[in-house]
């Protein structure tokens, strides 16, 4: 018999999740985060980013592990295919953001999930980035489709509602579907 | 003495780059690509994507290597910090897309680069994704700043012009700064 239960569902510590929500309600400043990446060009279309530090909860923080990520273009696009393309990383970001939300929201709603998998497809016409369309074709994805397979101890409607709520609260879904201000500054020499 | 020169600059095979542009001009269908990611939930906010196959140049293709990418939330956001957050992958995607363009454009313009590095910062107020702002705070980044350090055998204006042209032709910059249609479908049970 323990007095302080530690409810965990879907690998989500729901007690801490709700406590975090309460803490942020009490001090909105905790919610201001800044994430960062540092990238170095390697050769050709190959570059490498490191991800480590970030700001959040009113202080400088760091991930437990620094992560190194490479990008390249495939050979058919005159790269060396050392790594995924930048636009494929965007698809991973979208899938993983929606999936994290699904696990949290399901836990908060008392639903135990047994499976969440997804496929993401993004269609892109390279006439845009190659500058061969006179501006008629955009540079980025013309459309992105995510398909989730989700299983758990809830009915169809409840499971669909969890995915929908995750979409409504997803940072990456927002960044893709709505305009985000991006500045590009240059220091030379 | 060779008759067929193979000019390579910045690790970019410029002869093949221009030949590819000519091929696409002759057959626009070559430029239609589809990129994909497949994601599986692991536990809590931790999930894992694999990136391997894609469609392009009128056929199914595959990267030389399959890539596995993990995402998680940091502990301060009630995750286990097994990997970068989804929104940090977006910053890597942006930096690496702009950098690949810089190398290609510099090569096409006859500029030899000696260094390209960048830092990307994205500000996000988690009141949005936590549902604590009554919709006043967006879920995604409120702003993203990229700062390039670039060096090469060209003057300041030329180097800045290369970065600017890369921005104008960047797929990920477009996806972030302009709306992209995203559909989310669900299969249950």
B53 touches chain A (CB under 8 A): no
Residues A62/A55, Cβ–Cβ less than 8 Å: no
Alpha-carbon span A187 to B162, nearest angstrom:
12
Overall average pLDDT of the A108-131 stretch: 96
Q: How far is CA B74 from the centre of its chain?
A: 23
Please indicate whether, in this complex, the C-beta atoms of A44 and B103 are within 8 angstroms of each other.
Answer: yes
Interface of A with B in 122-181 (CB under 8 A): 122-132, 138-151, 156, 159-160, 163-164, 167, 169-181
Residues of chain B with pLDDT under 70: 1-7
The SS3 call for residue A23 is helix
Question: Residue B84's pLDDT is what?
Answer: 98
Taking the CB of residue A54, how many other CB atoms lie within 10 A of it?
Answer: 22
Interface of A with B in 19-38 (CB under 8 A): 20-21, 24-25, 28, 31-38
Question: Residue B8's pLDDT is what?
Answer: 85
Please indicate whether, in this complex, the C-beta atoms of A38 and B93 are within 8 angstroms of each other.
Answer: no
Phi-psi group of A87: left, alpha or beta (phi > 0 → left; psi -120 to 50 → alpha; rest → beta):
alpha
| B25, B26, B28, B30: CA torsion to nearest 10 | -100
Question: What is the per-residue pLDDT across A77-93, written as a single tens digit (0 to 9) for each?
Answer: 999 999 999 999 999 99
Please indicate whether, in this complex, the C-beta atoms of B125 and A76 are within 8 angstroms of each other.
Answer: no
State the nearest Cα–Cα gap between A33 and chain B, in angstroms.
5
B3 touches chain A (CB under 8 A): no
Residue of A nearest to B50 (CA): A92
Residue A4, pLDDT > 60, answer no
| Whole-Å CA distances, B164 to A39, A98, A137, A185 | 18, 32, 19, 9
Please indicate whether, in this complex, the C-beta atoms of B47 and A95 are within 8 angstroms of each other.
Answer: yes
Taking the CB of residue B110, how many other CB atoms lie within 10 A of it?
Answer: 12
Alpha-carbon span B50 to B63, nearest angstrom:
11
- The gap between the terminal CA atoms of chain A, to the nearest Å, is 67
For A27, residues 6+ apart whose C-beta sits below 8 A from its C-beta are: none
- The residue assigned the tokens 């698809």 is A91
Alpha-carbon span B122 to B13, nearest angstrom:
33
Q: Hey, what are A113's tokens?
A: 């999930």
Q: Hey, what are A36's tokens?
A: 């960062």
DSSP for residue A37: E
Confidence of residue A1 (pLDDT cuts 50, 70, 90): very low
Question: Residue A7's pLDDT is what?
Answer: 67
B68 touches chain A (CB under 8 A): no
Confidence of residue A134 (pLDDT cuts 50, 70, 90): confident
Question: Residue A135's pLDDT is what?
Answer: 86
A118 touches chain B (CB under 8 A): yes
Complex ipTM tops 0.90: yes
Question: Residue A189's pLDDT is what?
Answer: 82
For the entire predicted model, the pTM comes to 0.96
User: Of the candidates B55, B51, B54, B75, which has an alpha carbon nearest to the alpha carbon of residue B65?
Assistant: B51
Mutation site for A-interface testing, chosen from B35, B76, B158, B165 by largest number of A Cβ within 10 Å: B35
Alpha-carbon span A168 to B61, nearest angstrom:
34
Question: Residue B134's pLDDT is what?
Answer: 87
């Amino acid at each position: 018999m323990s007095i302080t239960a530690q409810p965990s569902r879907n690998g989500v510590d729901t007690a801490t999740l709700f406590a975090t929500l309460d803490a942020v309600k009490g001090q909105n400043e905790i919610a201001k985060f800044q994430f960062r990446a540092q990238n170095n060009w390697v050769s050709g279309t190959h570059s490498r980013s490191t991800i480590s530090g970030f700001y959040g909860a009113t202080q400088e923080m760091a991930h437990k592990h620094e992560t190194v990520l490479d990008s390249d273009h495939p050979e058919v696009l005159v790269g060396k295919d050392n790594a995924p393309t930048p636009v494929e990383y965007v698809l991973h970001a979208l899938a993983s953001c929606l999936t994290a939300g699904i696990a949290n929201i399901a836990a908060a709603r008392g639903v135990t999930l047994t499976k969440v998998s997804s496929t993401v497809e993004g269609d892109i016409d390279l006439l845009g980035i190659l500058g061969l369309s006179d501006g008629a074709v955009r540079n980025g994805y013309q459309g992105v489709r995510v398909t989730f397979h989700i299983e758990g101890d809830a009915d169809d409607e409840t499971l669909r509602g969890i995915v929908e709520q995750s979409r409504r609260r997803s940072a990456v879904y927002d960044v893709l579907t709505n305009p985000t201000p991006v500045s590009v500054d240059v220091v030379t020499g």
